[in-house]
Amino acid sequence: MRVLLLTHGTRGDVQPFLALAAALESTGHAVRTAGPAGSAPLAAARGIAYHPVDDGPLTLMGDPELGGVMRTGLRGPHGAAQAVRLVRRITPLMHRVCEDMADAAEEGADAVVHLVGTPGHHIAERLGAVAVPVALQPSRVPTGAFPPPGVPLPRWMPGALNRTAYRFAGLALRGRRKVHERFRRERPGLGPSCISACPGRVRPRAVRTRPSRCRVRPSAGHPR
Distance (Å) of CA 78 to CA 64, 74, 90, 102, 147: 16, 7, 18, 37, 21
Alpha-carbon span 118 to 100, nearest angstrom: 11
pLDDT averages per 10-residue partition of the chain, 224 residues = 95 95 96 97 95 92 64 55 69 89 94 92 92 82 76 73 74 71 79 49 43 59 55
Predicted confidence at residue 90, as pLDDT, reads 78
pTM of the model: 0.78
pLDDT of residue 25: 96
For the domain made up of 2-220, the CATH class stated in words is: alpha beta
Q: Given this model, what pLDDT does residue 3 score?
A: 97
Domain ranges for the chain, please list them: 2-220
What's the CA gap between 184 and 210, in Å, rounded? 29
Give the count of beta carbons closer than 10 Å to the beta carbon of residue 36: 24
